[in-house]
């Protein structure tokens, strides 16, 4: 018994091996899952990129949206004529004009004592306060013989920057040219007054003026009233002047401007205004009034303001057959 060799302790390492197996297995699984996940992410990204590229290619092949046809960029000659108002738009008292009224030369042709106001006087005389259209244009004239008034209406395509500049200038007229004196070629003097006559709610921009010219016309007192209106729609615009030696009804200009704006918007949208389909003959080109030449010499007869047209109206009573015999 005393000679028994000392007892050796058993090694425990092999006993731990079974416990390590699950841990190693889990680590291996995690490593495998991580690698698999990385590969799957790359494949998914590649698929996403391919899908995005396909969508972009399809969008590039798809036809682009059609351009808007709501407003035409250029007013054609036919559209300009179709946008003109007719006597039916103005009221029962209006008919196609028979010629320019003689008060135009007698009371609008003169030299302003304020340099900046000469543009207003010349523009009223030549009917071009908005400047000259850059494209198609059309004009028509109308007479209200009962009231002794004459209205000139025009539509045109303009350079946008020049048109906006003209409208901005018109806005300043009541302040810069609220009152000035004009002298005609014979030395007669007239007092010119200008006040604003707003036209809210018409077109994309609008301006209005009421101008009165008073003084000694041909030896007797005369007061000319002129209502002016301008409305812009896109790059096109309408303008009109209603004038007479009697009191001019501002509603006439308002009515004409409203009707004209509707018509201009219709033609720019590619539609034909309903009223144009049955427009009276008096609103055709034969009723158009050419703008006077601001540089033309005043006729001796124009020295006497008159509400009658300068051309013979043809309204004189014809003699009876008995009188002729």
**310-317 mean pLDDT:** 41
Helices (H), the chain: 13-61, 77-82, 87-90, 103-108, 118-126, 160-176, 250-268, 321-324
Show the tokens assigned to 318.
């014809």
User: So what's the pLDDT on residue 294?
Assistant: 47
85-100 burial by CB neighbour count: b if 16+ within 10 A, else e?
bbbebbeeebbbbbeb
User: Beta-carbon neighbour count of residue 60 at 10 Å?
Assistant: 8
pLDDT tens-digit map of 58-99: 444 443 333 333 334 578 999 999 999 999 999 888 999 988
Residue 207: pLDDT above 80? yes
Question: Could you tell me the pLDDT band of residue 205, with boundaries at 50, 70 and 90?
Answer: very high
The one-character DSSP state at 288 is -
Give the residue, 147 or 279, on which the prediction is more confident.
147
CB 261 within 8 A of CB 57: no
Residue 296: pLDDT above 60? no
What gap in Å lies between CA 212 and CA 247, rounded to an integer? 10
User: So what's the pLDDT on residue 216?
Assistant: 65
**274-301 mean pLDDT:** 44
User: So what's the pLDDT on residue 218?
Assistant: 55
User: So what's the pLDDT on residue 66?
Assistant: 34
Q: Out of 72-86, 117-131, 269-283, which region has the weakest mean confidence (pLDDT)?
A: 269-283
Closest C-alpha to 264, from 305, 272, 255, 292: 272
Q: Identify which of 57-71, 142-156, 302-316 has the greatest average pLDDT.
A: 142-156
Question: Could you tell me the pLDDT band of residue 50, with boundaries at 50, 70 and 90?
Answer: low
Question: Could you tell me the pLDDT band of residue 281, with boundaries at 50, 70 and 90?
Answer: very low
User: So what's the pLDDT on residue 49?
Assistant: 53
Which pTM was predicted? 0.65
**267-278 mean pLDDT:** 74
User: So what's the pLDDT on residue 101?
Assistant: 81
User: So what's the pLDDT on residue 284?
Assistant: 36
What gap in Å lies between CA 295 and CA 293, rounded to an integer? 5
User: Beta-carbon neighbour count of residue 128 at 10 Å?
Assistant: 17
Task: Quote the percentage of the chain above a pLDDT of 70.
Answer: 60
Strand order in the sheet with 205-217: 95-96, 137-144, 149-157, 236-244, 220-233, 205-217, 189-196, 179-183, 111-112
CA count, 13 A, side-chain hemisphere, 67? 4
| 144 SS3 class | strand
**7-32 mean pLDDT:** 44
Residue 300: pLDDT above 90? no
User: So what's the pLDDT on residue 17?
Assistant: 43
Rg (CA), the chain: 42
Show the tokens assigned to 194.
């200008």
């Amino acid at each position: 018994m005393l000679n028994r060799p000392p007892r050796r302790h058993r090694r425990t390492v092999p006993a731990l091996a079974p416990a390590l197996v699950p841990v190693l297995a889990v680590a291996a699984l995690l490593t495998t899952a991580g690698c698999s996940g990385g590969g799957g992410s790359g494949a998914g990204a590649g698929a996403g990129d391919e899908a995005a590229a396909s969508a972009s290619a399809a969008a590039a092949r798809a036809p682009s949206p059609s351009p808007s046809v709501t407003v035409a960029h250029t007013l054609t000659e036919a559209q300009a004529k179709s946008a003109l108002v007719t006597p039916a738009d103005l009221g029962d008292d209006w008919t196609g004009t028979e010629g320019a009224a003689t008060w135009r030369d007698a009371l609008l042709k003169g030299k302003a004592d304020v340099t900046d106001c000469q543009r207003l006087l010349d523009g009223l005389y030549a009917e071009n306060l908005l400047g000259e259209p850059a494209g198609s244009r059309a004009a028509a004239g109308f007479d209200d013989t009962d009231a002794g008034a004459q209205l000139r209406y025009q539509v045109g395509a303009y350079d946008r920057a020049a048109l906006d500049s003209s409208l901005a200038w018109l806005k300043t007229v009541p302040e810069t040219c609220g009152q000035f004196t004009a002298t005609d070629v014979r030395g007669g003097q007239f007092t010119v007054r200008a006040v604003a006559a707003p036209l809210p709610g018409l077109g994309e921009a609008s301006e209005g003026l009421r101008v009165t010219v008073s003084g000694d016309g041909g030896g007797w007192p005369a007061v000319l009233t002129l209502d002016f209106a301008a409305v812009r729609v896109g790059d096109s615009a309408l303008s009109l002047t209603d004038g007479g030696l009697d009191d001019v009804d501002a509603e006439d200009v308002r009515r004409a401007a409203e009707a004209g704006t509707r018509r201009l918007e219709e033609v720019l949208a590619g539609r034909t205004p309903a009223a144009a389909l049955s427009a009276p003959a008096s609103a055709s080109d034969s009723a158009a009034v050419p703008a006077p030449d601001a540089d033309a010499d005043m006729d001796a007869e124009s020295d006497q303001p008159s509400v009658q047209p300068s051309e013979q109206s043809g309204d004189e009573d014809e003699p009876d057959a008995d009188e002729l015999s």
